[in-house]
Structure 1
Amino acid sequence: MNSAADPQLIPQLIAQRHDDILLVTINNPPVNALGVDVRRGLLDAIDAAERDPAVAAVLLVGAGRNFIGGADIREFGLPPQEPRLPDVCDRIEASSKLVVAAVHGATLGGGLEMALAAHYRLALPSAKLGLPEVHLGLLPGAGGTQRTPRLIGAGTALELMLSGRHVDAAEALALGLVDRVGTGEDAAAAGLAWVRELLAEGAPVRRTRDAGALADRAAQQGAIDAARATTAKKARGLFSPLKIVDAVQAALDLPFEAGMVRERELFVECLDSPQRAGLVHAFFAERETAKSPETAAARPRPIAKVGVVGGGTMGAGIAVALLDAGLPVTMIERDDAALARGRANVAKVYDSHVAKGRLTAAACEAVLARWSGSTAYDALADADLVIEAVFEEMAVKEAVFAELDRVCKRGAVLATNTSYLDIDRIAAATSRPQDVIGLHFFSPANIMKLLEIVVAAKTAPDVVATAFALARSLRKTPVRAGVCDGFIGNRMLAVYRQAADHVMEDGASPQQIDRAIRAFGYPIGPYEMADLAGNDIGWATRKRRAPTRDPRARYVQIADRLCERGWFGQKTGRGFYLYPDGARTGTPDPEVQAVIDAERVRAGVTPRSFTDEEIVRRYLAAMVNEGANVVHEKIALRPLDVDVTLVHGYGFPRHLGGPMKYADTVGLPNILADIRAFAQEDPLFWRPSPLLVELVERGHDFESLNHPETQTIKQPENAHA
């Protein structure tokens, strides 16, 4: 190695000469993000190579476990600093010396855009390549929308950018994103060997902007048109996906330089969009909820063996999530028949994976070999963690935990999957309340990302830390919650569903309410969701709460009348909607409307009309107000915990950031004014949260509670977003 001509670079880049190859290593832990210093260093390295006649080629690699994980999130929201990444990519591509990127680990966003600007690309088996900017409300803005379709075609490029998914090295090679797949995990060694081959072959400088995948204009236009039509249907009001399609259209229609100008225009439009602010908020919020006060000091307990009590839909889903994480699972059921059904519920998931080609039969067999079952609690004697997922009734759960207390070893974590019930009372059924915690999974548990970690009064810090470590291993998004009826999400759901029920009894139809909420950005309306989940679930909760219900509170009985008729939703063929012949989409039911009309008469309500906007304002005002109460009572640590819960567990549009972020966008004075106006009709239900009132009086917003050290001031806006 000869390092005599090494350029003087910043600490985030290491440049070393290997004969006539300049090896440039990006060393900006933890993910080698493309911060301003890295961008400056890259320009200096390329310029130094150009000036040095002894350098024939430049090899770009990343230190540690990744090539480049993307933009530096510390720069989000700050004024841009020169050089911009598009300029760095252009300089790399324009180099007269051969530039090769050898990628491994995360090669995402700007990292992939930079690799595409290199003249040749090698990927190691660990590489994960992707352009995930759509998840932040952006588009690839450093030539990604221009180089990628020129290299691999418009349709394939659009699929990658619109999904934001990652591809492995083998798929990247098949798509044409990379030229070779290397072996081993040493990117520098593999890259140097290949660069020497390229130089020996006399490989020319090959600029991606000149690639010819767009040559068949008619076929490429067809792919763009198809993507545009699909995106218009699926995006549900999202801003950046159609801008990505526009940018790829520019790649087809315009010369490269003009296409880059158009990409920049579209990127700035996305950057200025309120949706981008909401998505960035969600991005950071999800990282904040992965931590809790307990995880800072306590170490998690080791988890090697797990038990699941209950093999129904929820228990089976939890078992699958654990099996997917590589853990052995012992399932407990009350008798052999129930245990057989539990195993069948688990096997059904994996059989579906095999049928769809996601899993081989051998791999399926290996996973199921880690499942065992028993009708005796003693089978859990050596379990490190047991998760109870039985019927939502306190006496049943207390009996289960008394048995777990009897058989489980000391130090085992005992978790309940209850959706509503008092975990302090469940813990009191044991002699070890410090080991008891709530792990509230959402159905289907093997798919839904949210995991409410409910910390009881006596839960030990290391048990909380264990729950958060488990969430990471299950690839769940955890949110810490305190104990109350329904915790964060279901407590809020009960309130904003009441607001919808009030509107329904006052004159709106279930169809109009569902339509208005879908138009706001939800994937499904509240009554469609009730039919999907089963109306009997909410009915059981309402009956449980009946003895403690405030007799002064308004109580809409429409849903109870439907349940009394056995109309529980899709599983019974009718609920708020009709589902003939097992249909998954409901149609209006005249008999439901007759029930609604009769209940209006009974309640003495004269129906009136509502606009969709009025429906949404009431729905959201109730949601935000109860969210403020949840924070005020310390059930949620911060408003952002409410946001993550509602986005990941209840369908709140992610591009709006969550209900508390949405309220900040609208302006808290406007939300409070709505609540006070609605209180003229029902002062008990529309009681403003003390926290909301306090924030408005102080001129603060919910964001100030996420980061109290900044104490951001929110100026009220005049109109609802």
Structure 2
Amino acid sequence: MDALQYKSADPVTLSHDGDIAVISINNPPVNALSQAVRKGLVECIERATTDNSVTCIVIKCDGRTFIAGADISEFGHPPLEPQLPYVLEKIDQCTKPIVAALFGTVLGGGFELALSCHYRVAVSGTKLGLPEVTLGLIPGAGGTQLLPRIGGIELALEMITSGKPKSVQSLSDTGVIDLTVDDSAALLERTIEFSRNVLVQQKNIRRTSKIVIAHHQEYAQLFSLWRSKIAKKMRGQQAPQYAIDSIENVLSLPFEQAMQEERRLFNECRNSAQSHAMRHAFFAERMAAKLTKYEDDALALKIHSVAIIGAGTMGVGIAMCFAQAGIAVVLLDMKQESVAKGLSAIESRFHQSVKRGIISGAQLTEAMALITGTCEYRDVGDVDLVVEAAFESMEVKKQIFSILDEVCKPETILTSNTSYLDINEIAQSTHRAHKVLGMHFFSPANIMKLLEVVRADKTDQQSLKTVMALGKQIGKVCVAVGVCYGYVGNRMYACYGREANALLLEGATPGQIDRALQQWGMAMGPLAVNDMSGIDIAYKARQENGGYSNDPHYFRAADLMVEANRLGQKTAAGFYRYDKDNGSRIEDAEVLTFLSAEADRLGVVQRSDISDEEIQYRLIFALINEGAYILEEGIVDRASDIDVIWLNGYGFPRYLGGPMFYADEFGLAELVAIIKGFKKLTGKGHWVIAPILERLVETSEKLALQ
């Protein structure tokens, strides 16, 4: 290639390979479309267009990926010129062919830019996507108009409403990619070669804006089906429906008008409460990974091997997480039968993943080869980290940790998957309390994103950093939390469940409570969740933690179910009855009889005036108030960490941002007033407002920013 001929506003440069102009973007780490990049692109395109020696233009990126999206530092600020739609119009209308050289992860505006180019060459394995809906947005620079014109309407509907990227291989028959290159090192050479072939074949410039899709009757049915599908799958979300509307404009509006309408819908989404909430969630997850209060020189250790103690449901799921990340796993249980059953369950779940296209057969084989089973503690002596996932009993766990302390090498980190128990007390059973902490996975562990990393009083910074890094390596959203009963998520969930149980005694039905919370936005109602997970699990935890509450009403409804051996779906009866043939949930009059009799015994007067709003506010405000106490006690570093936990572990609607963010949006003054009303209504001492809430009302500050 010739020496550099022109340098625009950093970080975009223009050089030549004979008659081919090469525009290079170098904006680490992900070549985001910052204002400087946009400005540089326009300048380079204009210069190459007016250069008579240039016959074709290639746009490429340096570093590890083609453009991976917008510059997040510009989020929430007035747009800077030139805006991306103008840049992409320049590309589309260029009088010389423009070819994009794609590799890495081509997302958002990066994919829209590629679609605006006249041709696209990509390295095998490249991921392409329009993830804007995950931020409560739609593509705003032409994605809803460009992708359907090139790849077809159904592909556009799938990719844009889901926000999920697709591999180049899966797009091979769609027209999105003109040439796939196997060797990434040869990408630029092959793209220049492709450009010259375009010129030799005297192909016309293929402007995406000029592609017309004929209107067929079946499209009306297709859009109707997608609207219904998305309304059910992404209940309550505005952006996916707006995306469908914008894609449909491909059929009815001229390109320029459809682009204007897309921008109008984009701006409406951007200014919406939902997008504000989802952008908060995005930044909160990035912040949660940072241990800002615990910075020192300690470096995270590299974990090459782990042991899982317990081959039950949780142990199996946890083992899968590590094996899928390429980490060797020893699965230990005291009975050979349990080990064999656990290994079989792992293989079965991996086979299910293969059937669903989540992993390949080769990946299954590789993962299973990393997992071995044993009944002997001596076989875990050399591992780098242990996750204990045994029965939820302090006595059992202390015994296990005492043995692990003896058999494991001194540098091994010992962790527990306990959901409720005191990590400090567990650590006292070892001589390495500085290397003991919690790794609280959520069930099913191989699917759920959240990992609460519980730092005990004596946990050192190296161990904490190591586990946080390891969690990220196995694909988890990690949040560091302190020690208290139930940590963050389950401690708050206990307050949420407490109110559901209280309302059952007061006269609400399980169906009414669950429907109210689903209508509010939760993925499932609390009582249906209890039935699914097993009512006895939390019951046993309460028994283990005797004295947590001396209120005779506390979870009395759940206790009744357990005492009647109604444990949920596994016994075909819990708060609901379950059809033995198809497992469908059925409201059960027998439950109401139990509850009415218990209310009489406890002197609770049942009411017929319990509204859906009262149900929603009592449950949601109970967990918000408890979250505020948790923040004030220093169990989390930031209020937004609580939002991350509830978004990723408990089905809190992402478009509401998390409980702390929602409290701000609802209004702290009104929330505090309603909580005071609940104390008066119920007479319960637990409706004491967290002091931080009243302070924030006085100072007009935001809870989610604390």
Determine if the alignment matches structure 1 residue 379 to structure 2 residue 398.
no
Letter in 1 for 2:702: D
Per the TM alignment, residue 675 of structure 1 is displaced from its structure 2 partner at its CA by 1.1
Structure 1 residue 556: Cα displacement: 4.4
Q: 1:286 corresponds to which residue?
A: 285
AA partner of residue 532 (structure 2): L
- The equivalent residue for 1:348 is 348
1:11 aligns with 2:6: no
**Equivalent in the alignment of 1:270:** 269
Instruction: Determine the C-alpha separation between the residues in 1 that align with 2:461 and 2:264.
Output: 50
Within a 5 Å distance, the mapping from 1:111-130 to structure 2 comes to 111-130=110-129
Q: Is contact 2:384–2:412 with CA below 8 Å preserved after alignment?
A: yes
The alpha-carbon deviation at position 495 of structure 1 amounts to 0.9
Inter-partner Cα distance in structure 2 for 1:408 and 1:564: 41
Task: Tell me if structure 2 keeps the 8 A contact 1:505–1:556.
Answer: no
Quick check: 2:124–2:182 contact (8 Å CA) kept in 1? yes
Cα separation, 2, equivalents of 1:227 and 1:161: 12
- Residue 131 of structure 2 aligns with which residue? 132
Q: Distance in 2 between matches of 1:561 and 1:162?
A: 44
Q: Deviations over 1:425-474 (max 9, x none)?
A: 11111011111110000000000000000000111101011101111110
Q: Which amino acid aligns with 1:403?
A: I
Q: Which residue of 2 aligns with 1:196?
A: 196
Query: CA 1:402–1:295 in structure 2 vs 1: closer, same or farther (change >3 Å)?
Result: same
**Contact 2:30–2:64 (8 Å) recurs in 1:** yes
Residue 497 of structure 1: aligned partner = 497
Matched, 1:98 2:94: no
Partner residue in 1 for 2:244: 245
Asked whether the equivalents of residues 155 and 220 of structure 1 are also in contact (C-alpha less than 8 Å), the reply is no
Secondary structure, counterpart of 1:346 in structure 2 = helix
CA contact (8 A) 1:573 1:582 kept: no
* Pairing 1:645–2:652 present: no
Is the contact between residue 24 and residue 61 of structure 1 (CA under 8 Å) also seen in structure 2? yes
Q: Tell me if 1:48 matches 2:47.
A: yes
How far 1:181 moved relative to its partner? 0.5
The residue that corresponds to 1:533 in the other structure is 533
Give the partner amino acid of 1:527.
L
Give the whole-Å Cα distance in 1 for the aligned partners of 2:430 and 2:617.
Answer: 45
Displacement of 1:182:
1.3
Q: Which residue does the alignment assign to 1:207?
A: 207
- Contact kept in structure 1, 2:640 and 2:705, CA below 8 Å: no
Deviation at 1:28, TM superposition (A): 1.0
**Residue 364 of structure 1: CA displacement?**
2.5
More displaced 10-residue stretch of structure 1: 164-173 or 376-385:
164-173
CA contact (8 A) 1:25 1:62 kept: yes
Shift of 1:3: 4.9
CA 1:404–1:270: 2 relative to 1, 3 Å? same
Cα distance in 1 for residues equivalent to 2:537 and 2:622: 22
Amino acid paired to 1:331: L
- Distance in 2 between residues matched to 1:429 and 1:399, nearest whole Å: 8
- Kept after mapping to 1: 8 A contact 2:339/2:374: yes
CA offsets per residue over residues 678-718 of structure 1, 9 Å max, x none?
1113251100001112211222111331xxxxxxxxxxxxx
Question: CA shift at 1:596, angstroms?
Answer: 1.1
| 1:182 aligned partner | 181
Aligned equivalents of 1:366, 1:46: Cα separation in 2: 47
- CA-CA distance at 1:546 after TM superposition: 3.1
Question: Which residue in 2 is equivalent to 1:234?
Answer: 233
3-state SS of paired residue (1:107)? strand
1:298-697 alignment, distance < 5 Å: 298-549=298-549, 551=550, 554-581=553-580, 583-608=582-607, 609-680=609-680, 681-697=682-698
Matched, 1:58 2:57: yes
Of 338-347 and 409-418, more deviation after overlay is shown by 338-347
Deviates more, 1:299-308 or 1:180-189: 180-189
* CA shift digits 1:37-85 (9 cap, x unpaired): 1111111111111211111111111110111010110011001112111
In structure 2, how many angstroms separate the alpha carbons of the residues matched to 1:71 and 1:237?
Answer: 26
CA contact (8 A) 1:129 1:172 kept: no
Q: Report if the CA contact (8 A) 2:542-2:548 is conserved.
A: no
> For the Cα contact (< 8 Å) 1:2–1:17, is it kept in 2?
yes
Deviation of 1:361 after TM superposition, in Å, equals 4.4
* Residues 497 and 555 in structure 2, CA contact (< 8 A), matched pair in contact too: no
Q: Secondary structure at the match of 1:174?
A: coil
Residue matched to 1:152: 151
Q: By how many angstroms is 1:381 displaced?
A: 1.2
Q: Please, which runs of 5 or more residues in structure 1 have no aligned partner?
A: 706-721
Contact (CA 8 Å) 1:377, 1:404: kept in 2 or not?
A: yes
Task: Return the alpha-carbon distance in structure 1 between the equivalents of residues 24 and 233 of structure 2.
Answer: 40
Note closer, same or farther for the CA distance 1:267–1:358 as it changes in structure 2 (3 Å cut): closer
1:226-277 deviation line (CA, Å, top 9, x unaligned): 2112112222110101000100111111111111111111111111210000
Shift of residue 109, structure 1, vs aligned partner: 0.4
Q: Which amino acid aligns with 2:243?
A: I
SS in 1 for 2:546: helix
Amino acid at match of 1:589: D
Cα distance, 1:142 vs. partner? 0.5
Alignment partners' CA distance in 1, 2:209 and 2:126: 23
SS in 2 for 1:329: strand
Structure 2 spans left out of the alignment, 5+ residues: none
Indicate if the aligned counterparts of 1:295 and 1:465 stay in contact, CA closer than 8 A: no
Distance 1:553 1:658 in 2: 31
CA distance in 2, matches of 1:8, 1:322: 46
Residue of structure 2 in register with 1:70 after alignment: 69
Deviations 1:618-653 (CA, angstroms, capped at 9, x unpaired)? 111111100001100011111000000011001100
2:173 partner SS? helix
2:6–2:13 Cα contact (<8 Å) kept: no
1:29 Cα deviation after fit: 1.0
Distance change (3 Å), C-alpha of 1:358 and 1:657: closer
Q: Deviations over 1:193-251 (max 9, x none)?
A: 22122222222211112235x33523433322221121122221101010001001111
Deviation of the 1:552 alpha carbon: 5.4
Q: Which amino acid aligns with 1:344?
A: S
Q: Distance in 1 between matches of 2:705 and 2:396?
A: 42
What do residues 592-618 of structure 1 show as CA deviations (whole Å, max 9, x unaligned)?
011111112112222222221121111
TM-score, reference length from structure 1: 0.95
Deviation per CA, 1:401-444: give whole Å up to 9, x if none.
Answer: 01100100010111100000000011111011111110000000
* Aligned 1:694-709 pairs, distance under 5 A: 694-705=695-706
Q: CA deviation at 1:296?
A: 5.9
C-alpha distance after superposition, 1:67-126 (max 9, x if no partner) = 101011001100111211111111100000111101111110000000000000011124
Q: 1:351 to 1:552 in 2, by over 3 A?
A: closer
Structure 2 counterpart of 1:510, one-letter code:
P
Which range moves more in the overlay, 370-379 or 683-692? 683-692
**Aligned in 2, Cα 1:703/1:350: closer, same or farther, shift over 3 Å?**
closer
TM-score, normalised to structure 2, is: 0.97
Counterpart residue number, 1:256: 255
Query: Taking structure 1 as reference, are residues 548 and 276 closer, same or farther at Cα in structure 2, changes over 3 Å only?
Result: closer
- 1:714 is matched with none
Which residue pairs with 1:709 in the alignment? none
Deviation per CA, 1:113-162: give whole Å up to 9, x if none: 00000000011124110000010000011111011111111111100011
State the Cα distance separating 1:360 from its structure 2 match.
Answer: 4.8
CA distance, structure 1, for counterparts of residue 447 and residue 290 of structure 2: 22
